[in-house]
Amino acid sequence: MVSERVTKIGASPTLKIAAKAKAMKAEGIDVADLSVGEPDFPTPENVKAAAIKAIEQNFTKYTENDGIPELRKAVCQRLKEDYGLDYKPNEVLVSSGAKNSLFNLVQAIVNEGDEVIIPAPYWVTYPECVNLAKGKPVIVETREEDGFILTPEQLRAAITPSTRALILNNPNNPTGATYNREQLEALAEVIRKEDIYIIADEIYSKLIYDGFQFVSFAALGEDIKKKTIIITGVSKSYSMTGWRIGFAVGPAEIISAMSKIQSHTTSNACSISQKASVEALTGPQYEVNRMVAEFQRRRNYVLMRLQQIPGISCFKPQGAFYVFPNVKSFYGKEAGGIQIRNSYGLAYYLLREARVAIVPGDAFGADDYIRISYATSMENLEKGLDRIYEALSRIKTAKKVKKIYLQNYVTRVKRQVPVEVIAEGKMRDALVAEMESHLGYENYYDWNANINGTIVQLRTNVGHLYDFWVENWFPAQIEAGLEPHAVIYAVDNVPGREPRAYYHPETRTGIMVNSDHYGSLRKLALGMVLDSQEHLGINAIRGLAVAVDSSGLVLVGQPGTKKTELFFELLKKPRVQAQSNEIIFVRFSGSKAIADSVERKFYIPTNTVELNDKLSRLFDHSKCENVVMRREDCTDRTCPIQEECRLDKGAPYCFRASADAYAMLDPNWIAGPQGFIRRTNLKSLVILRNDQVSPAVVELKKEEALRILESGEPSGAVKSISSKTQPFFNPHLLVWNEDKLALQRMFFSRLLDHVKCYLVNSGMATSEDLFRGTP
Ligand code: PMP
């Protein structure tokens, strides 16, 4: 399992478009690639010669961890000469590229939960770098009308007691915006009063145009210098991206902390590249100037061409090698039958229809824009802009803009929260008092649900939970003075508490703290009701239930046994009615086992969307939780259409993109009023396994069935209580001890006197087999 820290972050999206463009080029398609993030010039000859010399002299071993002394000295000299900065070699750390410098720095200064202010549009790596250090990126959007410059007011407003640092990228990737001295001074004034660091990413400092005077943030005074760490390198200025050399320059204490991290990760940067970088920094600088002059010529050309495209406006940048045109006017319009909704949609349109690769602005936190790089030949720029012009002029106002009905709520907490059973009344009372004090009068919702006859009252301050709760359960109006049988507090925004749930069986009190996830609330409610009805001889079976010619059949099994697939297969048969997609409550009445579905709606994962033709349309009209609306939130690594992702093409959402997305589906909608049944006489229990060897259908004897049910394993090997496998396939069970086990055993033993039990191999069996094998 990949750690959560890493599953949370997306791979660099810049690479995705570039990779697609590369694949197209490999197929012989002529793509104008305007997505590149590196100069197209060769590394200067003197630099290459220095590297060859280093190899000849066998300078091929580990070097000093922090970088060779002559390179650290050369960095100091350059900063002195170019920007008047005084640094000593022990204030310089040489790393494997500026990206590596940034990573070391953020790891060195950011504690868990620390906030790092990142003005948007931002270079894609900043937020993820902060996330990897368990910090919290605080994105502040700069405005095009301010020239994409962070204002002192915006900075002041973003600083909190948790702020640790500001990342200031000057000149900026992707906008090309460059701060003048006055603008920097204004920010410095705010910072003087605060105890925060400035991460000054000045990697593009040499690439500036129109005679602009670059000012380093560290040059704003000794006090500011003490709070500033400059990130720079040779990648961009000397066309040395592949050599992987970057520098961090700042207070010795920070540099030495970063050095410790480096000593355990990459050690020193490449020895040969270090020697080459000494030459780059100390040798003649005219190659840099030549490159800058050429970039300026290209920038002017690109701006001129963009001006001629109706619907595009573009800010004039004075640094780096990107322009960042505003393309919002094309959104909501149509081309080639596809509606363009966002920058990803436009990027894919341009790649497919115009064979031009650019980077969608959303990757930089600014969806109204695209990034065009002019670090490519004039010929390529001409070709690319001709094609952009042609392709954008084909975009038309959509004939009918498809209305989006989807009612989706994205929760902060996406997975089941752990439930802790509390025995002590005192602890319950303290928790309830704490919850009551946070509920307040505003935003306070309560509603009584009738769950299989048990009245459960929800008290919450989360609108979404209330909304889903009311949608999901049958109402239980209680008269004044009558108490509900059970109460659940679902309280969010309680300081100092992790998302978690508690259950106190004696008073039938449930408490869910700091989670807005309905799935967790529903599970807690079902578990509580189950626990309270057990002594009445009522139990629940967790599985998918149908009626075949009015007789109940329930499918149970561990994840991966294709329960849901089989359920939808069965529903296609005329003799089959749907009962529940998750749980049925069962009680005995004379010789019958009566199974009830107790929810008004199916709370169903939307990644089932392909199992039935109607689902997509029905989910569209259902209340949903956590449907993915942005490509970077997609967690479906098995998606077969990754290359042709519908979100990339501008679709507003994708139902299969996350296993955490659920819809509140009205069962009548899938099955029709005749196709849905609430109560059955349960006749068959089907335990599923999925392999390539076992027979399709085996009828089980009672003892064998009981053993398999109890262990939760088709092999029937009895597991200990602490085992991860859910006994009786039921993860809703809250309290679990020998007495409870005995009650469950008794229930299922009785059930097996009423129903036939089959072990079905979904790897072999079809729904036809199920039909044949079961009554
Ligand atoms: N900072 C910014 C703003 C950049 O755009 C880049 C490269 N795209 C880097 C840092 C990283 O540079 P390097 O290749 O030296 O790691």
Residues 25-41: tens digit of each pLDDT: 899 999 999 998 899 99
Q: Residue 121, preceding bond cis, omega within 30 degrees?
A: yes
- Top mutation candidate among 235, 237, 359 for ligand 1, by most atoms within 8 Å of CB: 235
**Mean pLDDT for the stretch of residues 376-401:** 86
**174 CA distance to ligand 1 centroid (A)?**
11
Cβ neighbourhood burial of 242 (10 Å; 0-12, 13-18, 19+): exposed
Q: Which of 26-30, 629-633, 660-664 has the least mean pLDDT? A: 629-633
Write down the pLDDT at residue 412: 93
Residue whose tokens read 């990206």? 99
- Residues 50-65 have pLDDT tens digits of 999 999 999 999 999 9
Give 11's pLDDT tier (boundaries 50, 70, 90). low
Residue whose tokens read 């002195």? 80
Write down the pLDDT at residue 594: 97
**Mean pLDDT for the stretch of residues 117-123:** 97
Write down the pLDDT at residue 12: 54
Residues 330-353: b if buried by 16+ CB within 10 A, e if exposed: bbebbbeebbbbbbbbbbbbbbbb
Give 559's pLDDT tier (boundaries 50, 70, 90). confident
Q: Which of 68-77, 86-95, 319-328, 614-623 has the least mean pLDDT? A: 614-623
Q: How far is CA 729 from CA 17, 71, 684, 712, 721, in A?
A: 44, 64, 16, 5, 13
**Mean pLDDT for the stretch of residues 101-108:** 98
Percent of the chain clearing pLDDT 70 (strictly above): 95
Asked if residue 643 lies in contact with residue 348, where contact means CB atoms within 8 angstroms, the answer is no
**Mean pLDDT for the stretch of residues 586-613:** 95
Instruction: Indicate the pTM of the whole model.
Output: 0.64
Q: Residue 174, preceding bond cis, omega within 30 degrees?
A: yes
Write down the pLDDT at residue 479: 77
Asked if residue 725 lies in contact with residue 713, where contact means CB atoms within 8 angstroms, the answer is yes
Q: Which of 92-96, 313-317, 591-595, 692-696 has the least mean pLDDT? A: 692-696
**534 CA distance to ligand 1 centroid (A)?**
62
| pLDDT higher than 60, residue 398 | no
- Residues 484-538 have pLDDT tens digits of 999 999 999 999 999 999 999 999 999 999 999 999 999 999 999 999 998 888 9
Interatomic CA distance for residues 186 and 176, integer angstroms: 20
Which ligand 1 atom minimizes the distance to the CA of 235? 15
Ligand 1 pocket check for 172: Cβ under 6 Å: no
Which ligand 1 atom minimizes the distance to the CA of 233? 15
**Mean pLDDT for the stretch of residues 557-576:** 90
- Top mutation candidate among 38, 125, 172 for ligand 1, by most atoms within 8 Å of CB: 125
**111 CA distance to ligand 1 centroid (A)?**
23
Which ligand 1 atom minimizes the distance to the CA of 234? 15
Ligand 1 pocket check for 169: Cβ under 6 Å: yes
Helix, strand, coil in percent for the chain, rounding step 5: 40, 20, 40
Give 770's pLDDT tier (boundaries 50, 70, 90). confident
**99 CA distance to ligand 1 centroid (A)?**
6
Ligand 1 pocket check for 202: Cβ under 6 Å: no
Write down the pLDDT at residue 726: 72
Which ligand 1 atom minimizes the distance to the CA of 14? 8
**425 CA distance to ligand 1 centroid (A)?**
57
Ligand 1 pocket check for 203: Cβ under 6 Å: yes
**127 CA distance to ligand 1 centroid (A)?**
14
Ligand 1 pocket check for 472: Cβ under 6 Å: no
Write down the pLDDT at residue 8: 65
Ligand 1 pocket check for 360: Cβ under 6 Å: no
Ligand 1 pocket check for 97: Cβ under 6 Å: yes
Terminal Cα distance for the chain, rounded: 41
| pLDDT higher than 50, residue 590 | yes
The helix-helix angle for 343-354 and 13-26 (nearest 10°) equals: 10
Interatomic CA distance for residues 732 and 245, integer angstroms: 54
Angle at CA of residue 316, ends 313 and 319, nearest 5°? 140
**Mean pLDDT for the stretch of residues 201-227:** 97
Asked if residue 718 lies in contact with residue 707, where contact means CB atoms within 8 angstroms, the answer is yes
Give 774's pLDDT tier (boundaries 50, 70, 90). low
**203 CA distance to ligand 1 centroid (A)?**
7
Ligand 1 pocket check for 484: Cβ under 6 Å: no
| pLDDT higher than 70, residue 772 | no
Phi then psi dihedrals of residue 592, to 5 deg:
-110, 150
| pLDDT higher than 70, residue 138 | yes
State the average pLDDT for the chain: 91
Write down the pLDDT at residue 719: 46
Percent of the chain clearing pLDDT 90 (strictly above): 76
Write down the pLDDT at residue 773: 53
- Top mutation candidate among 94, 99, 266 for ligand 1, by most atoms within 8 Å of CB: 99
DSSP 624: E
- Top mutation candidate among 123, 179, 204 for ligand 1, by most atoms within 8 Å of CB: 123
Asked if residue 534 lies in contact with residue 484, where contact means CB atoms within 8 angstroms, the answer is no
| pLDDT higher than 50, residue 723 | no
Which ligand 1 atom minimizes the distance to the CA of 245? 15
- Residues 445-467 have pLDDT tens digits of 999 999 999 999 999 999 999 99
**230 CA distance to ligand 1 centroid (A)?**
13
Ligand 1 pocket check for 173: Cβ under 6 Å: yes
Ligand 1, atom 8, lies closest to the CA of 37
| pLDDT higher than 90, residue 4 | no
Asked if residue 608 lies in contact with residue 569, where contact means CB atoms within 8 angstroms, the answer is no
| pLDDT higher than 70, residue 771 | no
Ligand 1 pocket check for 246: Cβ under 6 Å: yes
The helix-helix angle for 378-393 and 286-307 (nearest 10°) equals: 20
